[in-house]
Amino acid sequence: VRLSRSWSSIRAQPDEERAAAIAAVTADSSTPTIFDKIISKELPSTVVYEDDKALAFRDINPQAPVHIVLIPKNRDGLTQLAKADERHKDILGHLLYVAKVVADQEELADGFRVVINDGPNGCQSVYHLHLHILGGRKLKWPPG
């Protein structure tokens, strides 16, 4: 495993950033993530949308009144958006369309935000590609 950041710089960060930095150090496409257990239903989650390719569930630590995590069921190398290649174009398009379907379902007619955190600088903490769908309040811009 290549350590891209020193442990002393990781220790100095706030909790969420520290978790993201630690996750990045151990991330690779063969390591299962917590989302595998959510897909297999080994871990309970509040599913709001499911089809053969995608699963959406409520975030355990919501950052807005509506905060949903949307994932591909088959990670297929998509630990993060930065790893996408040509073969992922269909699933990426599908996920973006499902984000819109979920926003409709959640009655986010006044607007919402779709976020993909990528890598340590994006504060990604789970290395299975996922979209955050956030809404139900006026969101600030720019994000921190």
Residue 62 contacts residue 56 (beta carbons within 8 Å) = no
Q: How far is the CB of 67 from ligand TR5 (least distance, A)?
A: 7
User: What Rg, from alpha-carbon coordinates, does the chain have?
Assistant: 15
Would you give the binding string for ligand TR5 spanning residues 23-42, x where CB under 6 A is met? -----------x--------
Site residues for ligand TR5, 99-118, by CB under 6 A, read: 117
88 is catalytic: no
Q: Give the nearest distance from C-beta 69 to ligand TR5 in angstroms.
A: 5
Min dist CB 22 to ligand TR5, Å, is 12
Measured from the Cβ of residue 140, the count of other Cβ atoms closer than 10 Å reads 7
Are 91 and 78 within 8 A, CB to CB?
Answer: yes
Which of helix, strand or coil describes residue 114?
A: strand
Residue 43 is a binding residue for ligand TR5 (CB under 6 A): yes
Q: Is 125 in the site for ligand TR5 (CB under 6 A)?
A: yes
For residues 102 and 25, what is the distance between their CA atoms, to the nearest angstrom?
32
Q: Which residues are catalytic?
A: 130
